Amino acid sequence: GQQLNQSPQSMFIQEGEDVSMNCTSSSIFNTWLWYKQDPGEGPVLLIALYKAGELTSNGRLTAQFGITRKDSFLNISASIPSDVGIYFCAGQLIAGGTSYGKLTFGQGTILTVHP
């Protein structure tokens, strides 16, 4: 099946630092999604990317859909304690003629922010 490699697996940073994480795939996708999971909760969508090369921001978060369609990046600027959680990338390939595609998730990046 499709594989998504997400890195790093974990990060320990100081409040105010910037954060970068990425996902790479062995297959192409036509949608990339980034989710955040707070402790004890379900994942919540942060950013959705639909076009190769697309760069999208949501507050302090910026994500990019790689030109090759096999990778995506998420950056968090000026981290704050509430950024703590697990960040997941997910890719989706919608086959021709259908509007449905299953998501493939990365393994997650665990982010810890020290005040």
Partner 1 sequence: NAGVTQTPKFQVLKTGQSMTLQCAQDMNHNSMYWYRQDPGMGLRLIYYSASEGTTDKGEVPNGYNVSRLNKREFSLRLESAAPSQTSVYFCASRAQGFEFFGPGTRLTVL
What residues line the site for partner 1 (CB under 8 A)? 1, 4, 6, 9, 31, 33, 35, 40-45, 48, 50, 88, 90, 92, 100, 102-103, 105-108
Nearer to partner 1, 13 or 110 (CB): 110
13-45: buried (b, 16+ CB within 10 Å) or exposed (e) per residue?
eeeeeebebbbbbeeebbbbbbbbeeeeeebee
> Which residue type, as a one-letter code, is found at position 38?
D
Please give the distance of CA 79 from its chain centroid, rounded to a whole number: 16
Nearer to partner 1, 45 or 55 (CB): 45
Nearer to partner 1, 2 or 20 (CB): 2
